[in-house]
Amino acid sequence: MMQSLAEWFSNKRASNSVLTLPLVAVLFSWFCATAQAAEKPKTHVADLRYGVSLYHYYQQDYIPAITELMVADARDGIKGHGNNPELIAGGLSLAFGMQNHAEQLFTQLLQDNSRPQAVRDAAWFYLGKLQYARADWAGAAKSFSRVSGKFNEDLLAEMHSLQINLQIKQNDLTPLSIKKIEKDNLAQWEPFALYNLGAAHARNGDMNTAKLFFNELTELSFNANNQSRAEYLTLQDKAHTATGYTYLQEKSYLAAIEEFRKVRLDGIESNQALLGYGWAAIAQEKYVEAIKPWQVLQQRSLLFPAAQEALLALPFAYEKLNAPGDALREYEAAEKLLSQEINLVRDMRATLTAGELLTLVSSNPVSPKELQELEKKNEPGTLTALITDDGQNWLKLSDTSVIKTRSIYLRELFAQNNFQSSVLDLRDLLKLQKLLLAWQPKLKAYDELLQQKQAWRQQKEQQLAQQSLAQKQASMQQERDALVTRIAAIKTNNDYIALADAQTRKRFAAVERSTNTLARMKAEGQDTLEYEDRLWVTRGILLWRAAQDFPVALAELDASVAAMDAAIENIKASRAKIESITASGQDLQPLFTRLEQQQAHVDKQLKDLNGVIDVRAEQLRRKVDAQLSAHEQRLNRYLAQSNLAVARLYDTALRKQAQ
Residue 366 pLDDT exceeds 50: yes
pLDDT of residue 390: 37
- Residue 385 parent element (H or E): strand 382-387
pLDDT value at position 77?
A: 44
Predicted pLDDT at 368: 60
**Residue 503 clears pLDDT 60, i.e. is over it:** yes
Helices 417-456 and 588-658, packing angle to 10 deg: 150
Q: How confident is the model at residue 23 (pLDDT cuts 50, 70, 90)?
A: very low
567 versus 585: the higher-pLDDT residue is 567
Is the predicted pLDDT of residue 120 greater than 80, yes or no? no
Q: What is the pLDDT of residues 267-276, one digit of tens each?
A: 888 999 999 9
Q: Could you tell me the pLDDT band of residue 370, with boundaries at 50, 70 and 90? A: low
Find the range with the poorest average confidence among 135-149, 190-204, 249-263, 418-432.
418-432
- Report the mean per-residue pLDDT for the chain: 75
Superfamily of domain 1-39+82-220: Tetratricopeptide repeat domain (1.25.40.10)
Lowest mean pLDDT across 146-160, 274-288, 390-404: 390-404
| Phi then psi dihedrals of residue 387, to 5 deg | -135, 130
**Would you state the pLDDT for residue 373?**
66
The span from the CA of 479 to the CA of 470, in Å, is: 14
From the list 155, 98, 97, the residue with the least C-alpha distance to 123 is 155
Question: pLDDT tens digit string along 433-464?
Answer: 888 898 888 888 888 888 887 777 665 556 55
Q: What is the pLDDT of residue 38?
A: 39
Please list, residue by residue across 182-208, b when 16 or more beta carbons sit within 10 angstroms of its beta carbon and e when fewer do: eebebebbbbbbbbbbbbbbbbeeebe
More confident residue, 62 or 282: 282
Q: How far apart are CA 334 and CA 337, in angstroms?
A: 5
Is 180 or 582 the better-scoring residue by pLDDT?
180
Give the pLDDT band (50/70/90) at residue 579.
Answer: low
Percent of the residues in the chain that have a pLDDT greater than 70, as a whole number: 71
Please check the confidence at residue 284 and state whether its pLDDT lies above 90: yes
34 vs 431 pLDDT, higher one: 431
Span 234-247, pLDDT tens digits: 888 888 998 899 88
Identify the burial level of 128 via C-beta atoms within 10 angstroms of its C-beta, where 0-12 means exposed, 13-18 middle and 19 or more buried.
buried
Residue 643: pLDDT band (50, 70, 90) is very high
Q: Span 369-396, mean pLDDT?
A: 50
Instruction: State the Cα–Cα distance between residues 504 and 488, nearest whole angstrom.
Output: 22
Question: Inter-axis angle of helices 48-58 and 84-95, to 10 degrees?
Answer: 40
Average pLDDT over residues 381-394: 44
Higher pLDDT, 573 or 292: 292
Q: What pTM value is reported for the model? A: 0.56
pLDDT score for 40: 40
**For residues 460 and 141, what is the distance between their CA atoms, to the nearest angstrom?**
75
Which range, 27-36, 101-110, 381-390, 574-583, is most confident? 101-110
Q: What is the pLDDT of residue 424?
A: 73
Task: Write out the residue limits of the CATH 1.25.40.10 domain(s) in the chain.
Answer: 1-39+82-220
